[in-house]
Every structure is written in structure tokens, then in C-alpha cells.
Amino acid sequence: MRLDRAISVHLSHPVSRRLIKGRGARIPILMYHAIKEGTGTRHPYYETNTSPQVFAQQMQFLRENSYTVLSLEGALSYLQAGMTNGKCVVITFDDGNRDFFTQAYPILSKYNFAATVFLVTGLLKDDNSDHNGTDHLTWREVQELHANGVQIGSHAVTHPELTTL
């Protein structure tokens, strides 16, 4: 683990444990943005890309260690019923990037893992020809994913920077 992340985790973990102690069961949410090669222009601490190889290794880890991967709805049901055993996770993807369809979804399907994709609906098109450098899902791909059990959620229409609203 990089030093900056280790420090963040080391400092925040004891505080968060105290804040949520006694609040019952919890289910971690593994949130991803992009499953693709290369890194962005941001500081590595804030990097949101995960390579397909690392993503596949993470999913294999979940399978080999007997984790139950739940949908968001499934997680809510588990929590309400008090059924969590510490080996449950939820997997989500922000922004509706096309690499979810081409990279992540085949890996998730291999393990029969649930996932939720939060779409920026204003970026979806009927084809992938005009997306200013970042391909987003098409409406056809969203329909196919939904028909195959992927949950779809809203990540706003325009993806505004919420701190500036």
C-alpha cells in the first residue's frame, strides 16, 4: 500500500470504527470508475482507474475467499434481516463508462457477481461516436446490461461538481 493511503487508512479507521460502533451490521461497497489500462492525470492517491488484470484478481479473491457479492437491493435485505456474516460486499461503478461493458461485465459474469452502474444519463448516446475522449455506454448496452441483471442507478444528468452548486 502506498504511504499516503496507508496514512489515510491508519488515521481514519479508528475514528470511523468509533462512529459506527453499535450501529449493527455493515456491508462494504467496492466502488469503481474505470476498468482500463493506464492512469489518468490526477495524483495517484485520487486515481480512479483499475486495470482489467487487477480487477480480475480482485474478483477472483472475492470468489476464492467465499464472499457473497450482493446487489444494493440484496444488501438492504440482508441488513434488514440481520443476515450479514462479514463476507458480503456490494460492487458499484460510477459514470457509466463503456469499459464497464467491455472489461468489467465479462469478468463479473464469469463469477456471476451482481453490480450496479450509476449512469450520467446526459452522456449516453445511441452510439459511441462522440464522447469527447471517454466512451460511455450506449442506450442499447444499458438495456442489455439491465436485461442481464445489472442494476442501473442515476449519477445525475450532467455530472455536476456538487461542491460548486
Beta bridge partners of 91: 30
Per-residue cell: 152? 442501473
- Mean pLDDT, the chain, whole residue set: 80
Residue 137 CB contacts under 8 Å (≥ 6 apart), including other chains = 96, 97, 98, 100, 101, 117, 119, 124, 145
Q: Is the pLDDT of residue 14 over 80?
A: no
Number of C-beta neighbours around residue 162 at 10 A: 7
pTM for the structure as a whole: 0.76
pLDDT tens figures, 29-54: 999 988 988 766 666 666 678 999 99
Q: Is the pLDDT of residue 19 over 70?
A: no
What pLDDT, on the 0 to 100 scale, is given for residue 163?
A: 73
For the domain spanning 25-164, the CATH number is 3.20.20.370
Burial class, 58, CB count within 10 angstroms (exposed 0-12 / middle 13-18 / buried 19+): middle
pLDDT tens figures, 122-164: 766 766 554 455 688 888 998 999 999 999 988 665 555 667 7
What pLDDT, on the 0 to 100 scale, is given for residue 84?
A: 72
Angstrom distance (rounded) from CA 94 to CA 159: 10
Strands 49-50 and 88-95: unpaired
Q: Where are the domains of the chain?
A: 25-164
Beta bridge partners of 29: 90
